[in-house]
């Protein structure tokens, strides 16, 4: 049984992955209510489709040096540090990745055993779960990591069924050692919102909560407010909003909300955002009761929205939205607590130090958010001693990829597969 569902999944994923790169995708596009499975993207809205990529299947596990089509070059230290001696970070993070390959492989392999064709009535809904990830560029790294491992961790197969990565052009260039530039637009440059669908039907939609390229409106800066209104208007349900890269129906149900405050707010502002997240969003969502058809709007409208080929007459109504909070990663600047200190950064303090004793952001988050009380899951990035694996050269906030984000992304994936 195991081997036949494995074989089926391989066959399924042998269908060539079509990766549509959308550049400057208009926001109108994400407002339409088309079922995303039609992928009826209006071609006039698409300024550039770079290509239909038919990836040759990787023969070795995992990704590196832009072998994954979802990597941003500035985070790929093997790529950025090429040809120079300063490769400590690149090698340390590659080693970290290799040490975790087995765990990553085992985790992602479970996606194959959820082949949507073999699921039963009771598991049907959970196999179509839809995830909303809201955070800044640090949470985007987790999204990239899930996409890249899904794409590459199993030999000769990919777990990606669809991907919409709206690469932006231009994208700000950063310079590595020897002034080696990151890719300044298009594939491997950078993107804001992006979506993937895996072969088991799971969808992940990343939407930046502070925008990108200095444009807050490109993301969803008011997302906490919007989710609060959703909970009130839809009686305990939250939806995807209008900024996802794969347009979703306006009423589409979020099965899991993954949230991270990130590093752009001051500590005081972060506290306010965390309070709002806990009191307006995660705690109220926890008190929504089951999927009882009579008392629960979770069911109302859901059947009609999800009619079609999926035989929804037997589909379970969705359960309440779960929340997963991932602590904000440590920064390792050469300052008292590793944090970037506005106004007082010197060339010396912009160098990354190997370890710090505490991460004030994560400490605040862990103090305020209690799993089971005001959120379902708290994932601790747990990275105080990982300072050598940052991108370096002025960036002691983001980690090299592959590397530290893959460990956290795998723990997140384990949680998502349990839901």
Ligand X SMILES: *[C@@H]1O[C@H](CO)[C@@H](O)[C@H](O)[C@H]1NC(C)=O
Binding site for ligand X (CB under 6 A): 59, 65-66, 78-79, 82, 155-156, 311, 313-314, 334, 348, 351, 353
Closer CB to ligand X, 3 or 313, in the complex: 313
Residue 93 in contact with residue 408, Cβ under 8 Å?
Answer: no
If phi > 0 it is left, if psi is from -120 to 50 it is alpha, else beta; for residue 401 that is: beta
Residue 163: helix, strand or coil by DSSP?
A: strand
Alpha carbon distance 419, 416 (integer Å): 5
Closer CB to ligand X, 314 or 373, in the complex: 314
CB 88: neighbour CB atoms within 10 A?
A: 13
Closer CB to ligand X, 195 or 359, in the complex: 359
Closer CB to ligand X, 154 or 298, in the complex: 154
Closer CB to ligand X, 87 or 213, in the complex: 87
Residue 135: helix, strand or coil by DSSP?
A: strand
Q: What phi and psi, each to the nearest 5 degrees, are found at residue 17?
A: -75, 125
Closer CB to ligand X, 83 or 268, in the complex: 83
* Nearest-approach distance from CB 66 to ligand X, in angstroms: 6
* Nearest-approach distance from CB 108 to ligand X, in angstroms: 15
Alpha carbon distance 171, 4 (integer Å): 44
- The alpha-carbon radius of gyration of the chain (Å, integer) is 21
Q: What phi and psi, each to the nearest 5 degrees, are found at residue 10?
A: -65, -45
* Nearest-approach distance from CB 155 to ligand X, in angstroms: 4
Residue 205 in contact with residue 195, Cβ under 8 Å?
Answer: yes
* Nearest-approach distance from CB 311 to ligand X, in angstroms: 4
Alpha carbon distance 305, 303 (integer Å): 5
Q: Which of 191, 195, 194 is nearest to 213 (CA)?
A: 191
Q: What phi and psi, each to the nearest 5 degrees, are found at residue 112?
A: -65, -30
Closer CB to ligand X, 25 or 78, in the complex: 78
* Nearest-approach distance from CB 205 to ligand X, in angstroms: 28
Please name the residues in contact with 161: beta carbons below 8 A apart, sequence gap of 6 or more.
13, 17, 197, 198, 199
Residue 245 in contact with residue 205, Cβ under 8 Å?
Answer: yes
* Nearest-approach distance from CB 146 to ligand X, in angstroms: 22
Dmax (CA) for the chain in angstroms is 66
Nearest-5° angle of CA 239, CA 243, CA 244?
75
Closer CB to ligand X, 49 or 314, in the complex: 314
* Nearest-approach distance from CB 4 to ligand X, in angstroms: 16
Of the chain, the end-to-end C-alpha distance in Å amounts to: 23
């Amino acid at each position: 049984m195991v081997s036949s569902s494995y074989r089926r999944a391989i066959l399924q994923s042998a269908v060539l992955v079509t990766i549509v790169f959308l550049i400057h995708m208009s926001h109108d596009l994400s407002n339409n209510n088309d079922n995303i499975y039609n992928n009826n993207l209006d071609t006039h809205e698409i300024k550039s489709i770079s290509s239909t990529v038919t990836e040759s299947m990787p023969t070795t596990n995992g990704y590196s040096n832009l072998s994954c089509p979802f990597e941003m070059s500035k985070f790929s230290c093997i790529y950025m540090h090429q040809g120079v001696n300063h490769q400590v970070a690149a090698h340390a993070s590659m080693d970290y990745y290799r040490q975790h390959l087995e765990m990553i492989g085992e985790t992602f392999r479970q996606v194959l055993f959820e082949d949507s064709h073999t699921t039963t009535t009771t598991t049907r809904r959970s196999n179509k779960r839809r995830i909303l990830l809201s955070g800044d560029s640090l949470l985007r790294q987790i999204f990239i990591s899930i996409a890249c491992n899904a794409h590459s961790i199993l030999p000769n197969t990919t777990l990606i069924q669809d991907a919409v990565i709206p690469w932006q052009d231009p994208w700000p260039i950063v310079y590595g050692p020897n002034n080696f530039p990151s890719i300044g637009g298009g594939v491997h440059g950078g993107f804001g919102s992006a979506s993937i669908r895996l072969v088991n039907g799971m969808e992940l939609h990343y939407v930046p909560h502070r925008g990108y390229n200095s444009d807050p409106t490109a993301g969803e800066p008011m997302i906490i407010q919007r989710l609060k209104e959703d909970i009130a208007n839809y009686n305990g349900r939250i939806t995807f909003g209008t900024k996802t890269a794969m347009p979703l129906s306006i009423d589409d149900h979020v099965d899991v909300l993954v949230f991270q405050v990130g590093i752009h707010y001051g500590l005081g502002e972060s506290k306010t955002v965390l309070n709002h997240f806990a009191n307006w969003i995660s705690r109220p969502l926890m008190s929504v009761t089951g999927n009882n058809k009579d008392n629960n709007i979770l069911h109302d409208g859901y059947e009609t929205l999800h009619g079609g080929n999926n035989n929804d007459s037997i589909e379970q109504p969705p359960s309440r939205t779960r929340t997963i909070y991932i602590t904000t990663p440590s920064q390792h600047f050469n300052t008292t607590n590793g944090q970037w200190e506005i106004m007082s950064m010197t060339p010396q303090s912009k160098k990354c130090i190997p370890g710090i004793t505490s991460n004030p952001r994560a400490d605040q988050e862990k103090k305020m958010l209690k799993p089971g009380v005001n959120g379902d899951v708290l994932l601790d990035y747990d990275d105080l001693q990982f300072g050598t694996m940052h991108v370096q050269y002025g960036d002691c906030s983001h980690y090299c990829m592959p590397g530290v984000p893959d460990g956290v992304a795998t723990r997140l994936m384990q949680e998502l597969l349990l839901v």
